[in-house]
Structure 1
Amino acid sequence: MEDLKVNDGIVSETLPGSPPAGLESYGFDQKDTKRLLRKMDWHIIPFMSLIYLLCFLDRTNIGNARLDHLEQDLNLHGLQYNDCLAILFPFYIAAEIPSNMMMKRTRPSIWLTFIMFFWSVSMVGQGFVTNYSGLMATRVFLGVFEGGLFPGVNFYISQWYRRDECGLRMAMFFSAATLAGAFGGILARGIAEMSGVGGRAAWSWIFILEGLLSVVVSLGAYWAIYDYPDTATFLSPKERHEVQTRLREDTGHLSTEFDFKYVRQALTDWKIYIHMLICMAGFCPIYSFALFLPTIIKGMGYTANDAQLMSVPPYVCACFFTILASYYADKYRRRGVFLMGFQIIAIVGFALLVSSGNTAVQYTGTVFAAIGIYPQIPLGMAWNSGNIGGSLKRATGIAMQVMGGNCGGIIASYVYISRDGPRFITGHSILIGFVR
């Protein structure tokens, strides 16, 4: 079995300090430990998944809005729609490391509530824009405030679970992105019936209503987010001690203090830069898929409303395989082999889209592509975070990894160009290259 060591090479994956499978050595027996993990799961993962679902929905619902005459009403032409997609990511990237440092400096309940409220307000504002400049401005603010959520929650999860337990939880949290795609298509189809209500187009109502939903959830986020195990009110004193003991044993008593030297250590760790590239190769097809899938499906010959609904099944399949892949990766303590396997599936999916003009073959390609690309992110995130010791260095390293991933978002904004439709062969071919 391959051996993973903190701060050693990224090619090895077995976690040191972990007891043999089926044994517990931290004071609780196996039954008590499973009960403790279930209790933590129920209090932590559902709400984290909910806010990421809303975050990803707010970030990518512009793809659904496009089918309801967004470009025509705002008089967008040429690459202006693509520019509005891309402008989010530089600001999103710039916010990630400072945001994770603020997570460490303040408390998750404070910081995550703060950024969620303001990205939600930005999304509502996006529903009132009247031109290209207004849409660009609201996308900037959306990027600034959304940038801290994904790296922040991945770091937050690593402060509750051992490294061989993080992968599944990160997958459960990230699977909300696939649910956002499915939910977004259904919701956009329903909101399309509001076209003309209040003198506003359907695309405007998509932004306003989905933004208001996020505002409502943000108002209760402070009370729904538990900061860290040592202050968690849902755990008994004995359970809090057990969680902290397990984490200390897993990390080898590495530092948890706030010191900028740990930030510098992360910034000079070459292995994290490799993971940044891996994450970029994963996020580029995911963002391309999320932002353009309704357009791609409409190009197969479906009406706009049918295209919204037909975008749901690929995401449902992706959700199932995302969780399944990370479950088995945690169980066998291997991530690279699973990552490579799903890359092959993604290549098959995009190859089907390139090779055939048949609607059934193309649609099958979207399903395989979704199944192949989405599991790669939680697998890669768990792999990287498990290799980084010390909480501030881990927070910085995770943020760096997501920064690399979101550089892929900038590229994704220009992968599918209108002039290449309806087949988008060039775009699909580019994504095959990225996945490889």
Structure 2
Amino acid sequence: MAGNHEISMKTEVGHHEFSGETLRDEVARIDALATAPGTTLESFADLDEKKILRKMDMRLIPMLAMLYLLSFLDRGNIGNAKIEGLQEDLGMSSDEYNWCLTVFFFTYAAFEVPSNLLLKRLRPSRWLPFIMVAWGAVMTLMGIVRNFHGLMIARLFLGITEAGLYPGCAYYLTMWYCRHEIQLRQAMFFSAASIAGAFSGLLAFAIAKMDGIGNLEGWRWIFILEGLVTVIIAVVAFFVLHDFPETASFLTEKEREFVVFRLKYQGQLQGKGYGHTQVAQAEEFEWRYVLDAFKDWQIWVNIFVYLGIVCPLYGISLFLPTIIRNLGYSASTAQLMTVPIYITAAILSVVFAFLSDRVGKRSPFIISFMLVMIVGFSMCISSTNPRVVYGGVFIVACAIYPAFPGVVTWLSNNLAGSYKRSAGMAIQIGIGNLGGAMASNFYRQKDAPQYKLGHGLELAFIIIGVVAALVLLIAYGTINKRRDKVIREGGEAQFTVEELSTKGDRAVTFRYMI
């Protein structure tokens, strides 16, 4: 392959051996080799792509899943703490409790874009563990709050420190995997959220038995122990996480070039080839790419799809134990009844992500799951039978968890250019997660046990999301057909390779995934 052996270097490179300029130099070196003149897909014909993907899966996914499990566990365990007496012990009204849920999302949304930009410019193996230590410390300190104001301030800081984890991990995966294979990885990592829901119930059930130890209530131990575990895992992550494909110690030099090559040329000509004109996606940081993300219509339409999924997601994760308990079950039984819901949702999330990657489409799955969510909430709102309501929330959860990685993946698939994708995903997740602030107030104690207002509002957001998804589907299809026509007429010849690279997903050679 042209230019591949101009610089000799040892194959194995530890991801913590690099620092500063050395890391940037190695990234630039591998990037240059991957995009050298004469380099084509056939240049890597001797490599086993499936073997490389398996290597990446084993080294990346388990650790990311553990990080997100802890993140979701730590933000949602307040729901478990509530039914163990948090609200009564702190002398809070139901409105004050809901405010403590709400303020988390204000700071969480505000800090997501800055965090994602820092992730790209800094080292993921340093940045992600750093923010983990920060939120683990905050979570531990939540165990010693004494009143409403203390809890609210702690939740504000929890939002700041957790803000970078999910959008950071979701974006981090796009640095390694192509768009036709990433939803499975997003789902494998995100399924940790549903497993966290199951663990949350089990752990809360067990930890609550510590009530009285150290003169602390059981719900305080939920915060303290889960916070300490987060700090410990963060230390492990510092040594286990890898930074970028260009510096991956578990790949040979040629394998690293191949991973970079396939990422830089993805998304062209419907993703089935590398095209008439090879156009590498722009990687250099320029503020115009960030501004481009804020001005891109598809991100703002996608946010409405995201809201149609994330509002039910937070409604379920924050209030599921309370909803079940108000059906007439004890606190401990309610905790345990959440477990089968989350385990089933985790399995379905991975299964349908595999199918979505296999057929190369996102919208049919997303829209179908949103329609299933409508069925589930309709069961909850129309019945007073505890079994029917439990069945309804079961169905809702089993549709939410497969849909969520789908909507995040769909947008990331359709944003070209590393920094635009970074900013765009953070905008989607950051602004979209304000839906969590709204969902925190959907389920009021005075509406128990039917919670008609809460279920009704969830239904409204889902319907809006379905409409937005249909708008995206039609728009993407129309644009793709228009670009096909331009290509057939040789229209790409009027642009230089550099111009097409700068245009990113607006280039005539780029095809939106539907």
Give the shorter-chain TM-score range. over 0.9
Question: How much has 1:28 moved relative to structure 2?
Answer: 4.8
Provide closer, same or farther for how the CA distance between residues 253 and 369 of structure 1 changes in structure 2, counting only shifts above 3 A: same
Report deviation, 1:52: 0.3
What number of residue pairs does the alignment pair up? 413
Q: Deviations over 1:62-101 (max 9, x none)?
A: 0000011000000001400000000000100010000001
Q: Which residue of 2 aligns with 1:5?
A: none
**C-alpha contact (below 8 Å) 1:26/1:242 kept by paired residues:** no
2:157 pairs with 1:130: no
**For 1:6-43, what per-residue CA distance to the aligned partner results, in whole angstroms no more than 9, with x for missing partners?**
xxxxxxxxxxxxxxxxxx94555598111110110010
Structure 1 residue identity aligned to 2:335:
Q
Q: Aligned AA for 2:62?
A: P
Cα separation, 2, equivalents of 1:27 and 1:212: 49
Give the AA of the match of 2:458.
L
1:210 aligns with 2:239: no
Uncovered stretches (5+) of structure 1, i.e. residues with no partner? 1-23
Change (3 A) 1:25 1:61: same
Distance of 1:53 and 1:30 partners within structure 2: 38
1:407 pairs, out of 431, 434, 437, with 434
| CA distance in structure 2 between the aligned counterparts of 1:70 and 1:379, rounded to whole angstroms | 35
Tell me the residue number matched to 1:337. Answer: 364
Contact 2:65–2:188 (Cα < 8 Å) also in 1: yes
Which one-letter code corresponds to 2:100 in the other structure?
A: C
Say whether residues 1:80 and 2:107 are aligned partners.
no
RMSD (Å) for aligned C-alpha atoms: 1.3
Q: 1:26 to 1:416 in 2, by over 3 A?
A: farther
Aligned match of 1:242: 258
Give the match for residue 11 of structure 1: none
Q: Distance in 2 between matches of 1:154 and 1:171?
A: 10
| Structure 1 CA distance for aligned equivalents of residues 131 and 174 of structure 2 | 20
What's the CA shift string for 1:122-155, capped at 9, x where partnerless?
0000001010010001101100010111111111
What SS does structure 2 have at the residue aligned with 1:311? helix
User: Within 5 A, what are the aligned runs for 1:2-81?
Assistant: 25=41, 27-28=43-44, 32-81=48-97
Distance in 1 (alpha carbons) for counterparts of 2:147 and 2:281: 52
Q: Aligned partner of 1:327: which letter? A: F
Contact 1:104 1:258 (C-alpha < 8 Å) held by counterparts: no
Question: Which residue pairs with 1:421 in the alignment?
Answer: 448
| Aligned match of 1:19 | none
Equivalent residues of 1:276, 1:403 under 8 A apart: no
Residues 282 and 405, structure 1, Cα contact 8 Å, conserved in 2: no
Other-structure match for 2:422: 395
Aligned-residue offset at 1:404: 2.6
Aligned to 1:157: 173
Deviations 1:167-186 (A, max 9, x none): 11111111111011001000
Residue 413 of structure 2 corresponds to which residue in structure 1? 386
C-alpha separation between the residues in 2 aligned to 1:359 and 1:97? 42
Amino acid at match of 1:178: S
Conserved 8 A contact 1:113-1:222: yes
For residues 174-216 of structure 1, the C-alpha deviation after alignment (integer angstroms, 9 at most, x for no partner) is: 1111011001000000011101111001110000000011010
Amino acid in structure 2 at the alignment position of 1:48: L
CA gap of 1:130–1:389, structure 2 versus 1, over 3 A, is: same
Partners of 2:46 and 2:89 in 1: CA distance: 60
Misfit runs of 4+, over 4 Å = 24-31
Aligned residue for 2:141, secondary structure, equals helix
Aligned to 1:280: 307
Question: What is the alpha-carbon distance in structure 1 between the residues aligned to residue 418 and residue 42 of structure 2?
Answer: 21
Unpaired segments ≥5 residues, structure 2: 1-39, 268-278, 464-514
**Take 1:29 and 1:204, find their aligned partners in 2: how far apart are those partners?**
57
Distance 2:91 2:161 in 1: 27
Q: Give yes or no for the alignment of 1:318 onto 2:345.
A: yes
Residues 26 and 246, structure 1, Cα contact 8 Å, conserved in 2? no
Give yes or no for contact 1:277–1:404 (8 Å, CA) kept in 2: no
Give the letter aligned to residue 153 of structure 1: C
3-state SS in 2 of match to 1:347: helix
Matched, 1:180 2:196: yes
- Residue 293, structure 1, aligned to residue 320, structure 2: yes
2:297 corresponds in structure 1 to 270
Alignment check: 8 A CA contact 2:94 2:444 kept: no
| Paired letter, 1:47 | M
